[in-house]
Amino acid sequence: MERRIGTVTIGQSPRVDVIPEIAEILGTDVEIVEAGALDGLSREEIAGMAPSKGDYVLVTRLADGASVQVAERYITPRIHRKIDEHFHNGIQLVLLLCTGEFPGFETGGLLIRPQKVLFNAVAAVAEGLRLGILTPSGEQIEQSEHRWGVLAKDVRAVPSSPYSDAMEQAANAARALDEWGAQIIVMDCIGYTGEMRKLVREITGKPVVLARGIVARTVAELLE
């Protein structure tokens, strides 16, 4: 396979907070072509995609570094168009930069969906364990515990934004999960960094699964 991939963030590109760490795992000879579902939109247009009661909530980052919440129902068609554009331009592998759940996409190539990669990796090792989850927003706790509750009887999700006071929030979340008795911890957002993972690991002393790490290593394997 060619050493070129496309990425699609549910926010705006470039994702300077994500791509360098992924590129380090993939290697310097891999070209990464970025696109964002919210590229070219104004703050007012993006505000119109805010979640309402009952919506599946997604949290993402804009090009200026600001964090926003959007509803899945608004963002899915825009993601699909960006994925299709990559495949139309001859890119054979596209990585979605979000661990949220989305409907199925008809694609013209190989699409890597982090939610599926992360979920199945955790499923392989977490059976019977108390599962702690870091999720970006308090509004995502219920949907996160519902999703991960399929794997484990005891699940607790705690909010920890990767975009605002990230290290402090990660530390607070880690302490809460450690006190609760988590035996394995999942950092369920592409926005979480290796540095945040290291901090959570140091505080809890427990195994920590980082979404971007698992996904990037999966892509690296497919490119070999």
CATH number, domain with residue 55 = 3.40.50
Residue 105 shares a structural domain with residue 8: yes
Residue 108 shares a structural domain with residue 15: yes
Task: Identify the band that residue 136 occupies on the pLDDT scale cut at 50, 70 and 90.
Answer: very high
Residue 16 shares a structural domain with residue 106: yes
Residue 128 shares a structural domain with residue 67: no
Q: What token pair was written down for 28?
A: 């310097």
| Domain count for the chain | 2
Q: What average pLDDT does range 24-36 have in this prediction? A: 95
**Domain range for residue 200?**
117-211
Predicted confidence (pLDDT) per residue in 169-217, tens digit: 999 999 999 999 999 999 999 999 999 999 999 999 999 999 999 999 9
* Residue 181 buriedness (CB in 10 A; 0-12 / 13-18 / 19+): exposed
Residue 67 shares a structural domain with residue 32: yes
Q: What token pair was written down for 210?
A: 């980082």
For the whole model, what pTM was predicted? 0.94
**From CA 185, how far away is CA 124, in angstroms rounded?**
14
Residue 203 shares a structural domain with residue 160: yes
**What does 171-214 look like in DSSP terms, one character per residue?**
HHHHHHHHHHT-SEEEE-STT--HHHHHHHHHHH-S-EEEHHHH
* DSSP strands (E only) in the chain: 4-9, 31-36, 57-61, 67-71, 93-97, 110-112, 131-135, 155-159, 184-187, 208-210
Residue 109 shares a structural domain with residue 65: yes
Residue 79 shares a structural domain with residue 55: yes
Residue 78 shares a structural domain with residue 149: no
**From CA 171, how far away is CA 152, in angstroms rounded?**
24
